[in-house]
């Protein structure tokens, strides 16, 4: 593993689930991988609940996630934090970006974007309609961050060197949503850049989110953490397991079995006789045998990558 980019700050990782449903086998991979990386560096591991999207949240999901983590032996090294309690910092960041001229009011709806945006790898690229002022008769709906010809390059610990031209991959992106709430990019950039997080380990499906989040951090003078994007777990049809797609919740009554399977999917080849082992035994094995380089270049792993 290339450690040349490791910042001087002590290692601190995090797992940041959104409370849109209980943990499933896919989110367990991110939790375990971020935890084992923190342990490998004798660093700290934190849990942050990303509860900034009330319309998508499920009542009771935060508690269910925390219970599940606990059942799987994943205890954070400090009190769990909730993104919703950082609203003031998020709003202050928006005000700073606005004062520095990085934002503009946008009156476009999603269907405007679908109709007029050039297709990009992550959805339609913003066509620039409101970039130089709202066209007459348009009401502001969102705040967007102006993306010029910025390119971004960083070394992803698992995916290798990443180089992006933001105008071609993201375009001007939303930092304050129609309902007035800070967007995921804004909140994640501010909270990950606040100083304590040194490393972000998360799913490959979020790789495209890193350049815009790093851009926000640059504009705000925050230090970007280092990033590692691990493969996402897909079903046999190739679809990512997700709460929205109704992935089955983890069965907290069989945490050892779940951990064993997750380690298998993370390419660690745990011994077959540990399959019925206790959570403690599995963690002992995982901490001493963890080989993150086995994840290099992998974007996805399939549910059936487990045992026959
Ligand atoms: N809260 C996001 C999710 O559950 C992940 C955020 C992140 O790791 O940056 O998809």
Nearest ligand 1 atom to the CA of 17 is 4
| DSSP state, residue 240 | B
Give one word for 246, left, alpha or beta, with left for phi > 0 and alpha for psi -120 to 50. left
Ligand 1 midpoint to CA 237 (Å): 23
What are the CA-CA distances from residue 59 to residues 26, 65, 176, 180, 252 (Å)? 21, 12, 24, 21, 19
Ligand 1 midpoint to CA 212 (Å): 14
The burial class, CB within 10 Å (0-12 / 13-18 / 19+), for 100 is exposed
- Name beta bridge partners: 164: 152
**Contact indicator for 97, 185 with CB cutoff of 8 Å:** no
Ligand 1 midpoint to CA 16 (Å): 5
Substitution candidate for ligand 1 out of 18, 191, 233 with most atoms within 8 A of CB:
18
Angle between helices 279-289 and 25-40 (to 10 degrees): 60
- Which residue puts its alpha carbon closest to atom 6 of ligand 1? 16
Substitution candidate for ligand 1 out of 20, 184, 208, 229 with most atoms within 8 A of CB:
184
**Contact indicator for 38, 78 with CB cutoff of 8 Å:** no
Give me the tens of pLDDT residue by residue for the chain, a chain 308 residues long. 444 454 557 999 999 999 999 999 999 999 999 999 999 999 999 999 999 998 889 999 999 999 999 999 999 999 999 999 999 999 999 999 999 999 999 999 999 999 999 998 888 999 999 999 999 999 999 999 999 988 999 999 999 999 999 999 999 999 999 999 999 999 999 999 998 999 999 999 999 999 999 999 999 999 999 999 999 999 988 889 887 777 899 999 999 999 999 999 999 999 999 999 999 999 999 999 999 999 999 999 998 755 43
The DSSP string of 138-182 is: PPP-EEEE---S-EEEEEETTTEEEEEEHHHHT-SEEEE-TTSPB
Substitution candidate for ligand 1 out of 202, 204, 225 with most atoms within 8 A of CB:
202
Using CA atoms, how far apart are residues 251 and 22, in angstroms rounded to an integer? Answer: 10
Which is nearest to 74 in space by CA: 255, 290, 257, 265? 255
Ligand 1 midpoint to CA 126 (Å): 23
Ligand 1 midpoint to CA 15 (Å): 8
Task: List pocket residues of ligand 1, CB cut-off 6 Å.
Answer: 16-18, 50, 188, 202, 206
Domains of the chain plus CATH, in order, are: 12-84+195-207+221-302 (3.40.50.620), 88-185 (3.40.50.620)
**Contact indicator for 253, 231 with CB cutoff of 8 Å:** no
């Amino acid at each position: 593993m290339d450690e040349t980019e490791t910042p001087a700050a002590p290692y601190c990782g995090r797992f940041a689930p959104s409370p849109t449903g209980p943990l499933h086998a896919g989110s367990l991979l991110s939790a375990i991988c971020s935890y084992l990386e923190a342990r490998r560096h004798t660093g700290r591991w934190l849990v942050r609940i990303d509860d900034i999207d009330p319309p998508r949240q499920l009542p009771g999901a935060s508690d269910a996630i925390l219970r599940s983590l606990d059942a799987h032996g994943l205890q954070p090294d400090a009190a769990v934090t909730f993104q919703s309690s950082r609203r003031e910092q998020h709003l202050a960041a928006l005000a700073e970006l606005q004062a520095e001229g990085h934002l503009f009011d946008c009156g476009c709806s999603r269907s405007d974007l679908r109709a007029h945006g050039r297709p990009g790898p992550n959805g339609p690229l913003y066509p620039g309609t409101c970039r130089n002022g709202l066209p007459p008769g348009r009401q502001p709906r969102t705040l967007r961050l102006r993306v010029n010809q910025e390119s971004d390059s960083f070394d992803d610990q698992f995916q290798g060197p990443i180089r992006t031209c933001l105008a071609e991959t993201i375009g001007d992106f939303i930092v304050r949503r129609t309902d007035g709430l800070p967007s995921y990019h804004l909140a994640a950039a501010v909270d990950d850049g606040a100083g304590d997080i040194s490393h972000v380990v998360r799913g490959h499906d979020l790789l495209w989110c890193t350049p815009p989040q790093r851009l926000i951090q640059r504009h705000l003078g925050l230090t970007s953490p280092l990033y590692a994007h691990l493969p996402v777990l897909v079903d046999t049809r190739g679809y990512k397991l997700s709460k929205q797609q109704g992935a089955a919740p983890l069965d907290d009554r069989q945490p050892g079995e779940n951990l064993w399977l997750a380690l298998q999917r993370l390419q660690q080849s745990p011994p077959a006789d540990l399959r019925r082992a206790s959570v403690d035994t599995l963690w002992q094995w995982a901490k001493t045998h963890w080989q993150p380089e086995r994840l290099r270049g992998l974007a996805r792993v399939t549910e059936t990558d487990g045992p026959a």
